[in-house]
Amino acid sequence: DDTELARHFDRTIERDQRIEPRDWMPDGYRATMIRQIAQHAHSEIIGMQPEGGWITRAPSLRRKAILLAKVQDEAGHGLYLYAAAETLGADRADLTERLISGAQKYSSIFNYPALTYADVGVIGWLVDGAAICNQVPLCRSSYGPYARAMIRICKEESFHQRQGYELLMTMMRGTDAQREMVQDAVNRWWWPTLMMFGPPDAESRHTARSMAWKIKRHTNDELRQRFVDMTVPQAEALGVTLPDPRLRWNPERGHYDFGDVDWAEFKRVISGDGPCNAERIAVRRAAHEDGAWVREAAAAHAAKRARRSRQ
Ligand code: ACO
């Protein structure tokens, strides 16, 4: 009966075992997983846009091949994640509809523009670095298909992070103008990157429940701190300044202290009013509409094959 199933679910979580698609799970767990996985998938898909615009303008064949591979990886991550959401009973067409109608969110970070090629490097270094910081613990998330998808996604994200850092190192060894481009991109992306980890713990409505269900393994503030601690020495090695006068090592805490994130800006961006929200959704909507004939052709082909196999 239901109480026995609920006990089994609780024991599975307690023992750090995985919840699988056919297992009983509380409705709230299913809804939370669908929300988080869908938002994550949408982020990967929308995340192709800021950098995708640079593919035709890459400064060399090598940079173009790297960027093309990276943007394709993001499409792949989106597809794995939609497939993981489908194991919970979500419908992919419905999720896409919710993205383009604004009913579901995607990461705030992708609502900022990539203005120069240095942004490609900084997105790899900071944005993908933050994504890794957030996603490595999700490899131990309690929902099996999500945790397993995260393993491959994290491996690919680490290539993305490396290509960004390597691009920035190359630019920092170049001309003064190139160094200025890098510093300008760091100035623009630093604070939005810290917002990727979500609102402060005290204002995060899902964290406590998601931690208890072991969907999340660390809180938003814990991961933000971990990211800052990891990034400061990398900035020093690169020779760039992080745009925060309050950033300094605190020997008592054993962590870097840092300034206040502009949470009013975060709220504006996630409620649809960031610098590129309208453009991101318009591009996604147009791609979806332009792809209608592909979906129709694939469905017609599948129907024909099914008819043939019945004959
Ligand atoms: N951008 C957009 N929305 C956000 C962000 C953000 N940076 N941070 C939090 N939110 C949303 C939450 O999704 C939640 O939305 P909803 O309740 O309206 O649906 C709301 O703000 C409140 O936040 P929390 O209670 O803290 O939500 P949650 O527990 O889900 O934590 C987090 C947010 C940390 C982003 C979590 O969902 C997560 O780890 N997701 C997986 C990673 C991911 O999605 N990464 C995408 C960007 S990385 C990349 O694609 C390269």
Three-class SS of 172-186 = HCCCHHHHHHHHHHH
Q: In this structure, which residue's CA is closest to atom 48 in ligand 1?
A: 131
pLDDT score for 255: 98
Q: Classify 295 as helix, strand or coil.
A: helix
β 248-250/255-257 pair status: antiparallel
Q: What are phi and psi of 245, to 5 degrees?
A: -65, -20
Closest CA to 143 of 48, 23, 41, 50: 23
Residue of 35, 74, 206 with the most ligand 1 atoms within 8 Å of its CB, for mutation: 206
> From the CA of 247, how far away is ligand 1's center (Å)?
25
Q: What percent of the chain has pLDDT over 90?
A: 99
Q: In this structure, which residue's CA is closest to atom 46 in ligand 1?
A: 40
Q: Would you say the ipTM is above 0.95?
A: yes
Residue of 128, 218, 270, 273 with the most ligand 1 atoms within 8 Å of its CB, for mutation: 270
> From the CA of 237, how far away is ligand 1's center (Å)?
30
Contact 71, 55 (CB under 8 A): yes
pLDDT in tens, 105-155: 999 999 999 999 999 999 999 999 999 999 999 999 999 999 999 999 999
* Alpha-helix residue ranges (DSSP H) falling in 196-240: 207-212, 220-238
* Predicted confidence (pLDDT) at residue 2 exceeds the cutoff of 90: no
Q: Is residue 267 in contact with ligand 1, taking CB distance under 6 Å?
A: no
pLDDT score for 311: 81
Atom of ligand 1 nearest to the CA of 40: 44
Count Cα neighbours of 285 within 13 Å in the Cβ-side half-sphere: 12
CA distances from 216 to 33, 86, 191 (A): 10, 20, 23
Q: In this structure, which residue's CA is closest to atom 2 in ligand 1?
A: 107
Q: Is residue 47 in contact with ligand 1, taking CB distance under 6 Å?
A: yes
> From the CA of 36, how far away is ligand 1's center (Å)?
7
Write the DSSP symbol of residue 18. Answer: P
Contact 112, 275 (CB under 8 A): yes
CA distances from 172 to 118, 177, 180, 240 (A): 10, 10, 9, 9
pLDDT score for 174: 98
For range 252-258, the mean pLDDT: 98
Q: In this structure, which residue's CA is closest to atom 9 in ligand 1?
A: 198
For residues 248 and 108, what is the distance between their CA atoms, to the nearest angstrom? 26
Residue of 37, 39, 134 with the most ligand 1 atoms within 8 Å of its CB, for mutation: 39
- Adjacent-strand bridge partners of 249: 256
> From the CA of 65, how far away is ligand 1's center (Å)?
31
Closest CA to 26 of 203, 209, 207, 201: 209
Q: Is 156 exposed, middle or buried (0-12, 13-18, 19+ CB in 10 A)?
A: middle
For residues 46 and 78, what is the distance between their CA atoms, to the nearest angstrom? 9
Contacts of 49 (CB under 8 A, 6+ apart): 110, 280, 283, 284
